[in-house]
Chains A and B, each alone.
Chain A
Amino acid sequence: MSLLDIRQARKSFGALCVTDNVELDVKEGEIHALIGPNGAGKSCLIGEITGELALDAGEVHFGGERVDRLPVHARAQRGLKRAYQVPQFFSSFTAAGNVALARVACTRTGWSAWRRPRMDDASVFLRQVGLESVAQRPSASLGHGEKRQLELAMAFAGEPKLLLLDEPLAGLGPGDSERMVGLLRSMRGRYAMLLVEHDMEAVFTLADRISVLVAGRIIASGTAVEIRANPEVRAAYLGEGH
């Protein structure tokens, strides 16, 4: 059975249909890449899965439960954790403080008005992404690559079942990019991932399956080999500069 199952999802903004009868599933432990040209509706689809965007029609099932009417935080509590295209974090906190908050959310101890967040817990996840040396730095002062790593550490700290990664390589230099791909590869099998990414090399390295979204519609879905060979995909997407 699929971990995430999107059925006949539809979403329009006025006349613009950003999600057009999308059917998509992510299996346990699978890395599923979502590719497509700019404006295809990839980020919107991520938002519809997390609940930040409401669907006009269709269903989202996660872990066997229908979640498309649940608010964002309730879906996150069930193990849907995301990283944003532009890294989002709590800018007045240190790196460790950010991860500690993700732990507070995960352990549901936010109502404790006396106990402090556990910082020792946080360091485990910072080490996982290679940020232990900047644990005490204010998060706002981190470099762009470090912010991406921090967001990933927060997602890991939330004990995700499915990671929704919106362009985790965007804006990273070659070194940082390689490190990120290595990190994601090392997490293969531990968490299922839905990966939106423009870097085709990374997608073909990481993904078990690839779906291609063009103008709100999934035009193809399959393994890397199948997608590379698909003429429709080549015309619609891979042809553009690849």
Chain B
Amino acid sequence: MRTRLIIVAVLFAVALFVPLLGQPYYTKLAVRMAVFALAAMSLDLIVGYAGLVSFGHAAFFGLGCYAAGVLPMVGVQNFVVVFAVAALAAALIGLVTGAISLRASGLYFIFITLAFAQMVFYVAQGMRPLSGDDGFRLPAPTLLGGLRLTDPHVLLYLMLAILALAAGISYRVTQSRFGQVVQAARDNAMKLSAIGLPAYPYRLALYTYACALAGIAGAAYANLTEFVAPNTMSWVVSGELLFMVILGTAGTLFGAIIGAVVFVGLEQILSSYTEYWLFPLGVILVLRVLVLKR
């Protein structure tokens, strides 16, 4: 845990100085890393701490994107409102779908989360007023005071602050009584009931919280790409988020941040060499799983 914390601290420190390079490309890359770090970290709460493999986490990320894309259409650009709505929308859908998904576990949980995510994906794809499958340009940026979040420098510092806060709170939550109960449910749900605690409501609360974090990451992503499309919700993105969690070792929280940075970094580097960049990435994942310690 200590080593990971140091690595994350160094990554943060480096990220703070990226804008000094004066190249928006690198700043955007750093934002992308921070956005996926937040999404991957939230997924790790479900996968690593609750012990439930969700294959539909991108749905909540995508919902956050759509919140940031739709609200400006009705004149809402305020950062607090946009990000709060993104978080709440993701949390609400997370609560409803989680209430059903968490009745299952293991393989069935994977299938149900995937099925719900695909439902959300197809709804977004079918929404003609929002250009359906094509998606749409972000009508107007989210505003923080007088600052536009579509400015990568602004978005980078904002995301670093949000990520640090979310990581700090999430870490404390995992150490808290609530967090310990969720992890105990992962170890032995039968025993948890026998000592007087039901696993279900605790799992659902954690799931909902994790979905809210993914929604926030999504709202930032819409400002980064200045585009909103259903593919942010696709199972491919869910798979990539899982990839990041596994790269950084599930159940380590800060590991997911490292995993996201490595994944996004590799994606940039490898795709500049070959259009078949997914292939070496797959090899890396296989190697990572084979040497996985826990």
Report A's interface with B, CB cutoff 8 A. 50, 52, 71-73, 76-77, 81-82, 84, 88-93, 97, 100-102, 104-106, 109-117, 154, 158
- B173–A158 CB distance below 8 A: no
Tell me if B103 counts as interface (CB < 8 A to partner A): no
A-facing residues in B180-236 (Cβ within 8 Å):
180-181, 183-184, 186-188, 190-198, 202
User: B202: which A residues are within 8 A, CB to CB?
Assistant: 110
Which 6 residue pairs of A and B lie closest in terms of their CB atoms, listed nearest first?
A76-B196, A72-B193, A105-B196, A90-B187, A113-B178, A88-B191
B210 to chain A, nearest CB (A): 13
Q: Besides the contacts A90-B188, A104-B180, what 11 more A-B pairs have beta carbons closer than 8 Å?
A: A73-B198, A82-B194, A84-B194, A88-B190, A91-B188, A105-B196, A106-B196, A109-B177, A111-B178, A112-B176, A112-B178
Q: Nearest Cβ in chain A — how far from B212, in angstroms?
A: 13
A101 to B195 CA separation, bound complex (whole angstroms): 8
**Residues of chain A with a CB closer than 8 A to B183's CB:** 90, 92-93
CB contact between B184 and one of A52, A90, A113 (< 8 Å): that residue? A90
Find chain B residues with CB under 8 A from A91 CB: 187-188
Residue pair A73, B193 in contact (C-beta under 8 Å):
yes
Q: Answer whether residue B137 sits at the interface, using C-beta atoms and an 8 A cutoff.
A: no
Chain A: minimal CB distance from B235 (Å): 30
The CA of A113 and the CA of B208, in the complex, are separated in Å by 14
Known A73-B196, A81-B194: A116·B175 in contact at CB below 8 Å: yes
Cβ-defined contact, A117 with B194, below 8 A: no
Whether A101 contacts B181 in the complex (CB less than 8 A), given A73-B196, A89-B188, comes out as yes
> How far apart are the CA atoms of A144 and B258 in the complex, in Å?
39
Q: Is the CB of B172 within 8 A of A114?
A: yes
Q: B259 to chain A: which residues have CB within 8 Å?
A: none
Distance, CA A218 to CA B180, complexed state (A): 41
What would be 6 A-B contacts, judged by CB atoms less than 8 Å apart?
A50-B194, A93-B187, A100-B180, A104-B180, A112-B176, A158-B195
A56 to B191, CA, bound (A): 24
- Could you tell me the distance between the alpha carbons of A44 and B197 in the complex, rounded to whole angstroms? 22
Instruction: Confirm or deny: B179 has a beta carbon within 8 angstroms of a beta carbon on chain A.
Output: yes
CB distance A154 to B195 under 8 Å? yes
User: Which residue from A93, A105, A111, A117 sits with its C-beta under 8 Å from B195?
Assistant: A105
For residue B181, which residue of chain A has the nearest CB? A110
Question: What bracket does the count of chain B residues touching chain A fall in?
Answer: 20 to 34
**Most interface-central of A82, A100, A104 (chain B CB within 10 A):** A104
User: A71 to B194, alpha carbons, bound, how many Å?
Assistant: 10
Cβ contacts under 8 Å, A93 to chain B: 180, 183-184, 187
B176–A116 touching, CB < 8 Å: yes
The residues of B that contact A76 with a CB separation of less than 8 Å are: 193-196
Closest Cβ of chain B: how far from A221's Cβ, in Å? 26
Please state if A110 and B177 are interface contacts (CB–CB under 8 Å): yes
Instruction: Give min CB distance, A109 to chain B, whole Å.
Output: 5
A71 to B190 CA separation, bound complex (whole angstroms)? 12
B residues less than 8 Å from A101 (CB atoms): 180-181, 184, 192, 195
Q: How far is the CB of A117 from chain B (nearest CB, A)?
A: 5
Q: Which of B143-188 contact A (CB under 8 A)?
A: 172-173, 175-181, 183-184, 186-188
A154 proximity list for chain B (CB < 8 A): 195
A71 x B198 contact (CB < 8 A): yes
Asked whether, in the complex, the Cβ of A117 is within 8 Å of the Cβ of B191, the reply is no
Give Cα distance in the complex from A73 to B184, angstroms. 14
Q: Is the pair B188, A158 in contact by a Cβ cutoff of 8 Å?
A: no
Task: Looking at the assembled complex, report how far the CB atom of B118 sits from the nearest CB atom of chain A, in whole angstroms.
Answer: 31
- Of B173, B180, B195, the contact of A81 (CB 8 Å cutoff): B195
**Cβ distance A70 to chain B, nearest Cβ, rounded Å:** 11
Among B177, B184, B188, B193: residue with most chain A CB under 10 A: B177
